[in-house]
Amino acid sequence: MSDEALIVLENVNKYFGPLHVLDDVNLSVARGEVVVVIGPSGSGKSTLCRAINRLEPINSGTITFDGRPLPAEGRALARLRSEVGMVFQSFNLFAHKTILQNVMLGPIKVRKEKSVEVRERAMALLDRVGIGNQAEKYPAQLSGGQQQRVAIARALAMQPKALLFDEPTSALDPEMVGEVLDVMTSLAREGMTMVVVTHEMGFARHAANRVVFMADGQLVEQAPPAEFFANPKSDRAKDFLSKIL
Ligand code: ADP
Ligand code: MG
């Protein structure tokens, strides 16, 4: 991890009608850092992720990525989306395309890369997430854990500078959670910048550089995992941890 900030949110506010979903959020994520975001349902975690790759516009404040304010539209926005990969709870793979085609699509369509080169990279990525031998299958032929690993390979195919994960294991059967977390842990170890919304506290303990606790749209506290779990400072964090641990 370097000292240099890759993602910076300053005084970010976001409303849905009267609902203040991001309440003066300040957060800086360094290059190579792994930040795990936790907090009760409805606290604004998904909105925070979506704001970072501008799936959700904000009402005030600034977000910069790699030294530049988030672009609002056009090619600059498309480039931002390719630089900030996102992995969702629902894998969102294209059902009528093979696993390999799913991984190759972004680089070819969005980045206009040559199919031969993309294919090689896509195969290497599928091997890396442990599904190289399933490349010609269709999503429905794979388990949920395998599909989520394909979704991670697809995000990596764009050679992103950061990856956002929004509850990537919440839709999985329990026996498949580990295989996805293992892939995420190895990415973290290899230096990928990651913002991860998850309820998997084991992952937070072992892979995160920092845990951020959100409640009611506010970033209530943040600390390295060992410190946060041993000594949460706010009543809200203590209450949250008492319910999930
Ligand atoms: P979390 O991911 O922590 O569960 P979200 O960011 O999804 O929280 O939502 C924060 C709050 O914003 C919740 O109260 C949710 O109901 C509300 N919300 C989220 N998306 C929308 C939307 N598109 N329109 C209106 N309200 C929304
Ligand atoms: Mg959410």
Full pLDDT tens readout for the chain, 245 residues: 778 899 999 999 999 999 999 999 999 999 999 999 999 999 999 999 999 999 999 999 999 999 999 988 888 898 898 999 999 999 899 999 999 999 999 999 988 999 999 999 999 999 999 999 999 999 999 999 999 999 999 999 999 999 999 999 999 999 999 999 999 999 999 999 999 999 999 999 999 999 999 999 999 999 999 999 999 999 999 999 999 87
Q: Which ligand is nearest to the CA of 43?
A: 1
**Ligand 1, atom 13, residue with closest C-alpha:** 42
pLDDT, position 111: 87
Residue 217 near ligand 1, beta carbon < 6 Å: no
Alpha carbon of 42 to ligand 1 centroid (Å) = 6
Residue 19 near ligand 1, beta carbon < 6 Å: yes
Query: Distance between CA 70 and CA 114 in Å, rounded?
Result: 28
pLDDT, position 151: 97
Alpha carbon of 47 to ligand 1 centroid (Å) = 6
Q: At residue 102, what is the residue type?
A: N
Q: Which ligand is nearest to the CA of 50?
A: 1
Residue-wise pLDDT tens digits, 45-98: 999 999 999 999 999 999 999 999 998 888 889 889 899 999 999 989 999 999
Q: How are strands ordered across the β-sheet holding 68-69?
A: 19-30, 5-16, 60-65, 68-69
Residue 162, C-beta contacts closer than 8 angstroms, at least 6 positions apart: 6, 7, 29, 65, 83, 84, 85, 192, 193, 194, 195
Task: With both helix axes pointing from N to C terminus, report the angle between 115-128 and 99-109 in degrees, rounded to the nearest 10.
Answer: 130
What is the pTM assigned to this prediction?
0.96
- Yes or no: say if 195 and 29 are a contact pair by the CB < 8 Å rule: yes
Query: Distance between CA 102 and CA 104 in Å, rounded?
Result: 6
Q: Which two tokens stand for residue 172?
A: 């999985």
Alpha carbon of 166 to ligand 2 centroid (Å) = 7
Alpha carbon of 184 to ligand 2 centroid (Å) = 19
Residue 40 near ligand 1, beta carbon < 6 Å: no
**Ligand 1, atom 26, residue with closest C-alpha:** 16
**Can you tell me the ipTM of this complex?**
0.98
Q: Which atom of ligand 1 is nearest to the CA of 48?
A: 6
Helix (H) or strand (E) segment spanning residue 185 = helix 174-189
Q: Which two tokens stand for residue 41?
A: 């349902």
Alpha carbon of 61 to ligand 2 centroid (Å) = 21
Q: Which two tokens stand for residue 214?
A: 């959100």
The HSE-up count of residue 70 (CA atoms within 13 Å, CB side) is 23
Q: Which two tokens stand for residue 43?
A: 């606290």
Q: If you ran DSSP here, which 8-state letter would residue 93 be given?
A: -
**Ligand 1, atom 24, residue with closest C-alpha:** 16
Q: Which atom of ligand 1 is nearest to the CA of 40?
A: 3
Query: Distance between CA 211 and CA 31 in Å, rounded?
Result: 16
Residue 47 near ligand 1, beta carbon < 6 Å: yes
- The sign one gets for the Cα dihedral 166, 234, 65, 184 is negative
